[in-house]
Structure 1
Amino acid sequence: MSSSRVFSPLYLLLSISLLLQLAIALNPIFHECNTTSFTPNGTYNENLNTLLSQLNSTTPLTGSGNGSLGQSPDQVYGLAFCRGDINSTVCQACITSAAIEIQQYCQYKEEAVIWYEYCQLKYSNLDFFGQIDYREAFYYPYFNNVSDPVSFNTTVMKLLNIVEGEAIISPKLFATGTLEVGNSTTLYGLVQCTPDLSSANCETCLDWIIGFVPRLLYGKEGGIIMTGTCELQYHTYPFFTT
């Protein structure tokens, strides 16, 4: 007797949704490396490989992880985290990709960071835990312009300030929210800080990048600003899970 599995429309939709999430998770947005190199196959290289493997194993369990390995001058510090609304399966896929690609894009560099839509991974030969990092930063505006940039930008700033206030008191230093723009558009916003920051440093970092929104993303229907320790996103479509 042969048997076959019947897939419900809901199951197919969920499967397609997960595949799309994984596809996005495996595509880096940006990366940054310093110019100082370490010796291939040396002690620092060995410590880095071990630490990246540890972060790849531990981060998906709670959504974040950090640690250090070795002794100076070969000590390496690393941190990884996933976006606060992402499940462990997508988080695992993202961190696995990041651990591989950060070494490809920044081969033999003592310090590097790589950003994805759903996760971030960084390492350094210096202890960076708890410190605000403005050095590595980038922004990406979505190309469509809105019809009323003054009103739209006012709503963007209002929403980002609201979710910032929620994020800095959240255990994950993460928050999302929505606001209506006019009668037919919903604005979606998200902010997050790296889990090693204090609430006060998270607020300082978010204040800094939110302050750039009018200059870098003015009149755009969506955009991203990311640094080594905090990030923001907003769009006119739902891009996060609730």
Structure 2
Amino acid sequence: MFSIIKEKERKSWALQVYHNVKCILKFRTFPIFVPPPHKIAPSRAISVSSNCSPTASSNKVGSPLHRNLKALFSYFRVCAPLSGFYSYTVGLGSSQVYGQALCRDDIPDDVCWECIALASSKIQELCPNSRRGIIWLDHCQLRYSDKNFSGKVDVYDRACQPAVNNASNPSNFYQSLRILVANLTSLVTQSSPNRFFTKGVSVLEEAERIYALVQCVKDIHADQCGWCLQNASSDIAGCFNRKQSGRILRGSCNLPFGVWPFFSSDPTVISLPKPSHSESTL
């Protein structure tokens, strides 16, 4: 592999990315992550939700399963930031572990790297000796299990992260948000699985703008992605109790929204019909 790199680097001194079965090797003629220009503020980075299975004696410190998990988290730190999504398996038999890491598609490599590194550390604190766990941070999520979950949609691992401020008109706000999310879900399920990410803003006269983002893991089918997002959007009112921003999280998808732009680059602008003034169920 490295002989190939040596031959190719004579022809190009720009960014190079090389793949093998286990990982991705990426290099530039300038630093990739050091010094990281997009530091995650601790108050934002530790906006954490997690789900863990009960502790198990087979995952004690020093056990084969525990050693394999340590190796898995090391692979995540190196490989996940290079593509924003990474699945890997370590070990054999009863000590085999499966893992998956996903970064938000609109963040720089260094922010992804820092988030995955923090998630790898935090999940070991929050899920000690667990055979299965998932953690969500603001810019990434990380998941592992002793069972193979590749290609399977997960709506059972779930969390809500409501913000503090209330919507001025919750009925209209949630009605508009549902329409926005439905449009984004339609867009994202028509995109390539290598993407499965889109963001948008509602435009409605005499109303606040609503910003939302939808994303799925990249090892499921488009219809599974759509079903996961529909499942998440069904929690909009129940999770947020009149709040005007927050995140709905699933193992295979996530749905953050708010009344201010929280992502980079321009979102898709979606014009909404004027909400009905009739009462709607919150």
In the alignment, what sits opposite 1:80?
Answer: 101
In the alignment, what sits opposite 1:237?
Answer: 260
Would you say 1:121 and 2:142 are equivalent positions? yes
Aligned residues: 226
State how far apart, in whole Å, the 2-side matches of 1:142 and 1:84 are. 22
In the alignment, what sits opposite 1:12?
Answer: none
State the shift of 1:184 in Å.
5.7
TM-score w.r.t. structure 1 length? 0.87
State the shift of 1:200 in Å.
1.2
Would you say 1:189 and 2:209 are equivalent positions? no
State the shift of 1:23 in Å.
3.6
In the alignment, what sits opposite 1:90?
Answer: 111
Counterpart among 153, 157, 168 of residue 147 in structure 1: 168
State how far apart, in whole Å, the 2-side matches of 1:24 and 1:239 are. 15
State how far apart, in whole Å, the 1-side matches of 2:168 and 2:46 are. 31
State how far apart, in whole Å, the 1-side matches of 2:203 and 2:147 are. 44
In the TM superposition, what are the counterparts of 1:164-179 in structure 2 within 5 Å?
164-170=185-191, 171-179=194-202
State how far apart, in whole Å, the 1-side matches of 2:197 and 2:182 are. 13
Unaligned ranges ≥5, structure 1: 1-14
Letter in structure 1 aligned against 2:175: T
SS in 2 for 1:152: helix
Q: Deviations over 1:5-57 (max 9, x none)?
A: xxxxxxxxxx9x833x4546631421111004223201111111111111110
Alpha-carbon contact 1:64-1:81 (below 8 Å) kept: yes
The alignment-based identity, stated in percent, is 29
In the TM superposition, what are the counterparts of 1:189-208 in structure 2 within 5 Å?
189-208=212-231
Q: Which segment drifts farther, 145-154 or 232-241?
A: 145-154
Alpha-carbon contact 2:155-2:231 (below 8 Å) kept: no
Alpha-carbon contact 1:222-1:235 (below 8 Å) kept: yes
State how far apart, in whole Å, the 2-side matches of 1:122 and 1:163 are. 25
In the alignment, what sits opposite 1:4?
Answer: none
State the shift of 1:136 in Å.
1.6
Alpha-carbon contact 1:205-1:229 (below 8 Å) kept: yes
Letter in structure 1 aligned against 2:38: L
SS in 1 for 2:131: coil
Counterpart among 148, 152, 155 of residue 134 in structure 1: 155
State the shift of 1:217 in Å.
2.7
In the TM superposition, what are the counterparts of 1:61-80 in structure 2 within 5 Å?
61-80=82-101
State how far apart, in whole Å, the 2-side matches of 1:235 and 1:25 are. 15
State how far apart, in whole Å, the 2-side matches of 1:52 and 1:180 are. 42
Decide whether aligned partners of structure 1 residues 162 and 99 sit closer, same or farther in structure 2, where only a CA change above 3 A counts.
same
In the alignment, what sits opposite 2:234?
Answer: 211
Counterpart among 37, 51, 73 of residue 32 in structure 1: 51
Decide whether aligned partners of structure 1 residues 66 and 131 sit closer, same or farther in structure 2, where only a CA change above 3 A counts.
same
Q: Which segment drifts farther, 99-108 or 216-225?
A: 216-225
Hey, which bits of structure 1, 4+ residues long, moved more than 6 A? none
State the shift of 1:218 in Å.
5.2
CA RMSD of aligned residues (A): 1.9
SS in 1 for 2:142: strand
SS in 2 for 1:18: coil
Alpha-carbon contact 1:77-1:125 (below 8 Å) kept: yes
State how far apart, in whole Å, the 2-side matches of 1:155 and 1:184 are. 10
Unaligned ranges ≥5, structure 2: 1-34, 266-282
State how far apart, in whole Å, the 1-side matches of 2:154 and 2:177 are. 24
Counterpart among 120, 135, 142 of residue 99 in structure 1: 120
TM-score w.r.t. structure 2 length? 0.75
In the alignment, what sits opposite 1:60?
Answer: 81
